[in-house]
Amino acid sequence: MNEWFFDLEGTLIDSWHKDHPVIINKDVISNFIERKDIREISIFSGVIWNCDDSDRFFWELQERIENVFGIKIKNVVSMDDAKKQTSRWRTCFFDTIGELVSMVGKDIIFKEFCFDKQQDDVAFWLIDDEFPEELTIRNIDGKNLSVGIIPIQSL
């Protein structure tokens, strides 16, 4: 089974910092969702730092994205949530979430967040505009866990 995460800025929307972000890559993402028979996604984006950003996403973008792509967004993972839920970063001190993202990197935060979930028979995938294609497999407690990144450009 695959669990799909999508980035926002540069992948699903043009800019988080606009009053009315524009949904982008509609055809490419729609075709990918159809080919992979994706019905649910989660959001994992460096612009969602905390619960305030998650709330903004819910009120301003979630329904629009769900309607455009015909999918359900089941979860929005803020960088703060990822830090708190990942054993590797939970006890580290960062002045801001921005410092965490810039020092560690969203790609590494994503991988460690997924590996900490330790779910059997689930491959976690992030569709993103910033990172090259990558697949990391770890054996944790006898379970082979897979986390991959797919660039939006290669869909």
Residues 6+ apart with CB under 8 A from 5: 41, 42, 43, 44, 77, 110, 124, 125, 126, 127
| Burial label, 132 (beta-carbon count in 10 A; 0-12, 13-18, 19+) | exposed
d(CA 127, CA 41): 10
Phi-psi region of 141 (alpha: psi -120 to 50; beta: other; left: phi over 0): left
Range of the domain at 54: 2-154
In one-letter notation, the amino acid at residue 62 is Q
In residues, how long is the chain? 155
8 Å CB contact between 152 and 25: yes
In one-letter notation, the amino acid at residue 60 is E
pLDDT means per 10 residues, the chain with 155 residues, are 97 95 98 98 96 96 98 96 85 82 91 86 94 92 90 96
Question: How many domains, the chain?
Answer: 1
Output the pLDDT for position 52: 96
Q: Write down the pTM of the prediction.
A: 0.94
Instruction: Report the CATH number at residue 106.
Output: 3.40.50
DSSP alpha helices (H): ranges in 73-139?
79-85, 87-90, 97-104, 106-117
Output the pLDDT for position 88: 80
